[in-house]
Amino acid sequence: MIGTIRWMAPELCAPPPEPSSYLSDVWSYGCIILEITSAREPWIEQFNDDSLLFRALQRKENASLFNHVCTNQPGPLHLRQLLIQCCSWLKTDRLQFTDILQKFTTEDDQTMSVGSPVASKESFFDKYDDIPIFDYKKKIQPQLEKTSDDSDKLINHKGRLTGEVYTSRGTANGRPIYQGVKGGLYYLTSTGSKIYLHK
């Protein structure tokens, strides 16, 4: 068994655990949707301890609890419906990734059900382009333009999709020093941890 328990499908936790599959990955994808809509780790309100969650995922009688969480999750209806279909306890009831992709590209996002008639050729991103979570470029681009005037002395590095921009400011212990968007200076260790420098 490999993975982080909060994103693991029930069949990976049950004794004996099944091997991971695309359908267990669909559960994990549903957990990401749960994390986005709740702004918290998946299942944290119901199970604040990973060992409790692991035991709950081992027991079929807990299926209704997980379904209840998904059904009553706040957020856009189309995401809640997708969450329910991804986090179905029985893996055979889960969507395939091809169906998930189709939902975001061609289907009517009001119904979000497999097999519904296509209402529009407009993509999900066209319909919901005002949702900030999908709009990283607007956050990153102004910061890149702001530092481009000093390009002779600065090197810009686009960060992970957090909207953060790193600016090289020399070296420490042979490693580049970066300036975060709030002005703090740090360097990265070989494991990727940030070590902040004191002024």
Give the domain CATH number at 79.
1.10.510.10
Cα distance between residue 185 and residue 139, in whole Å = 21
- Please give the model's pTM, rounded to 2 decimal places: 0.54
pLDDT in tens, 114-153: 444 444 445 554 554 444 443 444 544 454 455 444 444 4
Cβ atoms of residues 155 and 168 within 8 Å = yes
In terms of domains, do 96 and 156 share one? no
Cβ atoms of residues 177 and 171 within 8 Å = yes
| The last residue of a domain, from among 77, 104, 127 | 127
In terms of domains, do 63 and 40 share one? yes
Amino acid 166: pLDDT: 47
In terms of domains, do 99 and 152 share one? no
Structural domains in the chain (count): 2
In terms of domains, do 168 and 116 share one? no
Q: Grade residue 176 by pLDDT with cuts at 50, 70 and 90.
A: confident
| The last residue of a domain, from among 77, 92, 127 | 127
In terms of domains, do 67 and 44 share one? yes
pLDDT in tens, 3-23: 689 999 999 998 888 999 999
In terms of domains, do 142 and 190 share one? yes
Q: Which of 46, 59, 41, 45 is nearest to 5 (CA)?
A: 41
Q: Which of 113, 112, 109 is nearest to 127 (CA)?
A: 109
In terms of domains, do 19 and 77 share one? yes
In terms of domains, do 86 and 65 share one? yes
In terms of domains, do 45 and 120 share one? yes
pLDDT in tens, 27-58: 999 999 999 988 999 999 999 999 999 999 99
- Provide the residue range defining the domain that includes 179: 135-196
